[in-house]
Amino acid sequence: MRVLITGAAGQLGHDLVDVLSGEELHAFDHEGLDVANAAAVRQTVERVRPQVIVNAAAFNDVDGAEKNETAAFAANAAGPAALAAVAASVGARLIHISTDYVFDGRKGSPYDENDRPNPLSVYAKSKYEGEQAVLRSDPSTCVLRTAWLYGRQGKNFVKAIQAAATRGGPLRVVADQVGSPTATADLATAIVELIRTPAAGLYHVVNAGACSRFEFARAIVGDGVEVVPITTAEAARPAPRPQNSSLVSIRWASTGIAPLRSWQAALESYLIA
């Protein structure tokens, strides 16, 4: 299968390259293909003529997006729209990665695919616009909302907590934000399985269960370092965050693919590897 991956140098892209190594793979990092460059996107896709495109590229700096709205919307909204348009023109199936942050977190329980988004931040609004463009483009497209990703490549919460722990505690971690931590290795494997099905539309794909940032941090460091709960207000980050953006799926079972394992099991595998 001829597969084109954008964002191949990121944490999810890196794992996708690993699990798709047996296919005819065309993997592009940001330098190789900037999805915000519509002309380059069209030229590359028309040259490669992939059967499947996985868009793992994004402007992921949630706080930075507040001051770089143009760049965030170029990468997260216009970029996916351009990919979707050219994918449809060459008959390629597009699988686009979106985020739990499209929700405002006020529901008080996990969100499923039928819940109505209400993005709060510039980052979240740009991601929501991107996923809507993809879903409108062609009936064969897939949008996968996921959450709190961590992997071996790039920056993520797990690495940040581990690095802070090596410098000594106590660690001050937000306790009033709840989500679904998800290992990129598990998500990448699920995407490969999805490629081999005719599934289309919107799916939530996360490791099962939910926890607060504080609980996640405690699971990462164990008893070695003290972790102190703080509030979102005390953290004083520039971009608003949803209070509870944990995800569940009412559609994933229809693909015939097994749900992802628990976030605790995934984290344990990551920490001992």
In-domain check, residue 119? yes
pTM of the model: 0.95
The domain total for the chain is 1
pLDDT per residue over 80-92, tens digit each?
Answer: 999 999 999 999 9
The end-to-end CA distance of the chain, in Å, is 30
CATH code (residue 27): 3.40.50.720
Q: Within 13 Å of residue 247, how many CA atoms lie on the same side as its CB?
A: 31
Please report whether residue 237 resides in a domain.
no
Q: What is the pLDDT of residue 272?
A: 92
203 is annotated as an active-site residue: no
Q: What are the structure tokens assigned to 125, written together?
A: 């609004």
- CA–CA–CA angle 245, 248, 249 (5° rounding): 135
Q: How confident is the model over 86-126, as pLDDT tens digits?
A: 999 999 999 999 999 999 999 999 999 999 999 999 999 99
Q: Per the domain annotation, does 218 fall within a domain?
A: no
For position 68, what pLDDT does the model report?
Answer: 95
Distance of CA 53 to the CA centre of its chain: 15
- Mean pLDDT, the chain, rounded, equals 95
The Cα 271–Cα 149 span in angstroms is 14
What's the confidence (pLDDT) of residue 221? 94
Two structure tokens written together for 35? 């999805």
The domain in which residue 118 lies consists of 2-156+181-208+246-261
* Catalytic residue selected from 101, 111, 123, 203: 123
